Amino acid sequence: MGMKATSVKGRCFNLEDYDTTYKSFNWSEAEKSFSWSETGLVNMAYEAIDRHAESDKRNKVALYFSDKDRNEQYTFQDMKDYSNKAGNVLKKAVGVEKGDRVFIFMPRSPELYFVLLGAIKLGAVVGPLFEAFMEAAVRDRLEDSEAKVLVTTSELLGRVPVNELPHLKHVVIVGSGVKEEGLYIDFYKRMETASEHLEIEWVDREDGLVLHYTSGSTGKPKGVFHVHNAMVQHYQTAKWVLDLKDDDVYWCTADPGWVTGTFYGAFAPWLVGATNVIRGSRFSPEDWYQTIENYGVTVWYSAPTAFRMLMGAGDGLVTKFDLRSLQHILSVGEPLNPEVVRWGKKVFDLRIHDTWWMTETGAQVICNYPSMEIKPGSMGKPIPSVQAAIVDDQGEELPPYHMGNLAIKKGWPSMMRAIWNNEEKYESYFLPNDWYVSGDSAYKDEDGYFWFQGRVDDVIMTAGERVGPFEVESKLVEFPAVAEAGVIGKPDPVRGEIIKAFIALREGYEASDELKEEIRLFVKEGLAAHAAPREIEFRETLPKTRSGKIMRRVLKAWELDLPTGDLSTMED
Ligand code: WT7
C-alpha cells in the first residue's frame, strides 16, 4: 500500500529512473561540478561558499539566521568575507595550521558558521560540540582529540576545564567584555581588524574535515573522523534526496553538534548553492511554524521526535500559519512512524520522506526519494551506486524479509575514515568481506525497501539523540549514594525512547523521590540534559554476569515484561 508522489511533481532533481541510475551512476560525475576535478586539490569550504561568491550567486542569500534576539541575513559574498575574517583570526591570533583540531562549543549563531568555515579554509579538522554539554562531556572530547583551539562563548566558558587540557593552546571567546589574558582571545575584537582576504589551504581529498563524537554501547564517546571527500556525497544527496533547486529555501532543524546539523544543516545545502535557514533557540511549535511562514521554507529536514511534538500540539495550530511554501519534507534520526507520515499528508498535504544514515556513514544512505513510491514505515532504498544489504554475522546476505544486520559495502564517498586514536574500534565495524556493519537490525522487502527493526546493541536513541548507556552509568556511579547502575532505553510515544536507570544504593542510603531528583540533576549537570535518566528505579541488586557486567538485556525484559532469555551467564 504505497502513497504516490503528488505534491512534489515538477521539482528539478527527481531521480526518475531509480534502477537505471542505481546501476549506471558513477561518483566521478558528481565530482565534475567541483573545481578540484581540474586541480586535484580541494577545500570543502571553498566549494560550499567561495565558488558561489565568485559566480552570479554572489548576492544570493546563503544564510537566514534568527533566534529570539537576532534576525539577520548573509549573502554568499558575505559568508565568504566573514569566514575569511574568522579564518584570519584563527591563523594570525592563534596560529591554526592544517590538521589542527579546532573545536567549537557554542549555541547556533552566524559566528559559529563563520568559524566553522574559516577553520576548514585553513585545513583544520573541526569538532562542533553541542551547547548542552557539561564539563565532563566537553573534557572527554577535547582530551581525546587533543584539540589545540576551542571557540566558545562567555556563557559556556565555565564548562571548559582549561587547566586540565594540556594540548589546548587558545580559547577564542565570542562575547562582550572579554579580557585577553592567558589562553583567552577576544573574537569580536580580532574580527574588527582581520582581513577579508585569506589564502585558502588546498588539501587532499583524503585530508581531515570533521570530527564528530558519538556514543557506542561501551566506552567513552568515540571520534568519528571524516575527510573532505565526503562532500561528493553531500552534494549529490542534496540533489537526489533533499531535491534542492535554485529557488529553494531550505531549513534543517538539527544542531551542528550532531552530524545532521553540520553535513545537512550547512555543507550539503551550500554545496549546491541553496538558501539556508538556521534557527537558534529552543523548540516551540508556534516558533517552528512561524519560521516556515516567515522565510517561505520550501524544503524542510527534521526528526520524528519533532514531528511527533508538532503533532501533539494539535492540527488547529497548523491552520494559524501560512505553510503553503512547503514542497518537500524529510526526516532522520529514528524510525518514522507511519502515523506521522499520515499526519504529515493530512496537515501539509505532503509526504514526509524518511532517510537513514549515521554519524559513521557521513551522509544519507537509505532514503525515500521525491520521485519514489513511499511505503510508510520503511526507510526507503539505497542511494545509487551504494550497496546496502541485510547480512548475518558472517557477512552472508540474507533473503528478503529475513531480519539481520543492516550493512553497507565499504567504499562509499562519505564513509568515516577512522575512529580517532582507535584503530581497533574502527576495524571492529567491518566484516572480512568488506561489509560495514551499522549496529542496526532491519529487513528488506521484495521491492528492495529497507525496514528498520531496532539497534543490535544497547545504544539509546532519545529524542533523536544517540546516548551510550555506559556513559550514563559511569556518571551515575560517581554519585555517592549509587553503588551500581544499569541504563536502558524505554519505549516512549514522543521521544522514541527515554533513558531509564536501575540503581542499587550503597549501604546507609534510603530510596526517596528527593534522591531520584538529586541523581537526575547530577547527570544533567555532569554530562548533559539529554543524557539524564527521565525514570529511575531503585533495586536491591542488579542482574550481572559472573564477570560482573550489568545485564541490560535483563533490565529491559523486566521493564517490558518480556521473557529474560538465556540466563546461564548470570551470577547466582
Ligand atoms: C542511528 C545513528 C545521522 C542521522 C542522525 C543520527 C538511528 C537514524 C534512522 C531512520 C530508524 C534511524 C539508527 C542509527 N536512525 N536514522 N531513518 N530510521 N533509525 O545519527 O547519532 O549517528 O545515530 O540513528 O539506529 O544507527 P547517529
pLDDT in tens, 140-170: 999 999 999 999 999 999 999 999 999 999 9
pLDDT at 169: 97
Is it the case that residue 549 has pLDDT exceeding 80?
no
| Grid cell digits, residue 90 | 584563527
Q: Do the beta carbons of residue 173 and residue 87 sit within 8 Å?
A: no
Q: Which pLDDT band, with edges at 50, 70 and 90, does 7 fall under?
A: very low
Eight-class DSSP state of 399? P
Q: Write out the H or E segment, with its range, that includes residue 189.
A: helix 187-193
| Nearest-CA residue for atom 8 of ligand 1 | 333
Mutate-to-test residue for ligand 1 from 356, 451, 457, highest number of ligand atoms within 8 A of CB: 356
- In angstroms, the CA 264 to CA 277 distance is 11
Percentage with pLDDT > 70 across the chain: 96
- In angstroms, the CA 34 to CA 39 distance is 10
Instruction: Tell which atom from ligand 1 comes closest to the C-alpha of 361.
Output: 3
pLDDT in tens, 67-77: 999 999 999 99
**Residue-averaged pLDDT of the chain:** 93
- In angstroms, the CA 427 to CA 99 distance is 23
Instruction: Tell which atom from ligand 1 comes closest to the C-alpha of 466.
Output: 21
| Nearest-CA residue for atom 23 of ligand 1 | 358
pLDDT at 89: 98
pLDDT at 12: 57
pLDDT in tens, 323-370: 999 999 999 998 898 889 999 999 999 999 999 999 999 999 999 998
Q: Locate cell 557539561: which residue? A: 134
Is it the case that residue 8 has pLDDT exceeding 70?
no
Q: Do the beta carbons of residue 120 and residue 207 sit within 8 Å?
A: no
Residue 64 CA, ligand 1 centroid: distance in Å: 27
Is it the case that residue 572 has pLDDT exceeding 80?
no
Residue 141 CA, ligand 1 centroid: distance in Å: 21
What is the average pLDDT across 228-250? Answer: 95
Amino acid, res. 395: G
What is the average pLDDT across 260-264? Answer: 97
Q: Cβ atoms within 10 A of the Cβ of 72, count?
A: 12
Backbone angles phi, psi at 238, to 5 degrees: -60, -30
- In angstroms, the CA 525 to CA 515 distance is 15
Q: Are strands 125-129 and 101-105 parallel, antiparallel or unpaired?
A: parallel
Is it the case that residue 252 has pLDDT exceeding 50?
yes
Residues whose CB is less than 8 angstroms from the CB of residue 122 and which lie 6 or more positions away in sequence, other chains included: 87, 90, 91, 96, 97, 98, 100, 201
Q: Are strands 170-174 and 149-153 parallel, antiparallel or unpaired?
A: parallel
Q: Which residue ranges have their beta carbon within 6 Å of ligand 1? A: 214, 259-260, 332-335, 354-359, 379, 438-440, 452, 455, 461, 466
The alpha carbon dihedral of 504, 508, 513, 519 has a sign of: negative
Residue 334 CA, ligand 1 centroid: distance in Å: 5
Residue 564 CA, ligand 1 centroid: distance in Å: 27
Q: Do the beta carbons of residue 233 and residue 413 sit within 8 Å?
A: yes
The Cα diameter of the chain in Å comes to 73
Is it the case that residue 219 has pLDDT exceeding 90?
no
Q: What is the dihedral of CA 182, 184, 186, 187, to 10 degrees?
A: 150
The tally of CA atoms less than 13 A away on the side-chain side of residue 439 is: 18
Q: Which pLDDT band, with edges at 50, 70 and 90, does 564 fall under?
A: confident
* Strand arrangement of the beta sheet that strand 299-302 belongs to: 71-75, 61-66, 275-279, 249-252, 299-302, 328-331, 352-356, 366-367, 381-382
pLDDT at 458: 87
pLDDT in tens, 450-488: 999 888 888 899 998 889 888 898 899 899 999 889 999
What is the average pLDDT across 308-334? Answer: 94
ipTM over 0.95: yes
Is it the case that residue 3 has pLDDT exceeding 60?
no
- In angstroms, the CA 231 to CA 31 distance is 9
pLDDT at 16: 65
Instruction: Tell which atom from ligand 1 comes closest to the C-alpha of 438.
Output: 26
Eight-class DSSP state of 455? E
CA separation, residue 517 to residues 75, 514, 535 (Å): 47, 5, 10
Question: 3-class DSSP state for residue 554?
Answer: helix
Residue 357 CA, ligand 1 centroid: distance in Å: 6
Is it the case that residue 504 has pLDDT exceeding 50?
yes
Q: Write out the H or E segment, with its range, that includes residue 411.
A: none
| Grid cell digits, residue 93 | 591570533
| Grid cell digits, residue 291 | 519560521
